[in-house]
Amino acid sequence: MQQQFTVTGMTCGHCEAAVTRAIKQLDGGAQVKIDRSQDLVEVDSTEPRQAIADAIREEGYTVEA
């Protein structure tokens, strides 16, 4: 299932890698696409939206509803 998240606080490639890693730890088969300039994270995963958002938040980023 394709899901989009607005994630603020990502300022560099390391931030993108941290978000991607957090999502892939939750779902190793997830496809993650990040557009940092738009604060956009697109995730193709079977995991629930809340679980993905929580994983991103645990890395220290803000996920807007």
Q: What is the pLDDT of residue 50?
A: 97
Q: How far apart are CA 28 and CA 60, in angstroms?
A: 20
Contact assessment for residue 50 and residue 10, using Cβ atoms and an 8 Å cutoff:
no
Q: What is the pLDDT of residue 42?
A: 98
Per-residue pLDDT tens, the chain, 65 aa: give them.
999 999 999 999 999 999 999 999 999 999 999 999 999 999 999 999 999 999 999 999 999 96
Total number of domains constituting the chain: 1
User: What range defines the domain where residue 54 resides?
Assistant: 2-64
Phi, psi for residue 48 in degrees, rounded to 5: -60, 150
Q: Output the domain CATH number for residue 7.
A: 3.30.70.100
The pTM assigned to this predicted structure is 0.94
Phi-psi region of 32 (alpha: psi -120 to 50; beta: other; left: phi over 0): beta
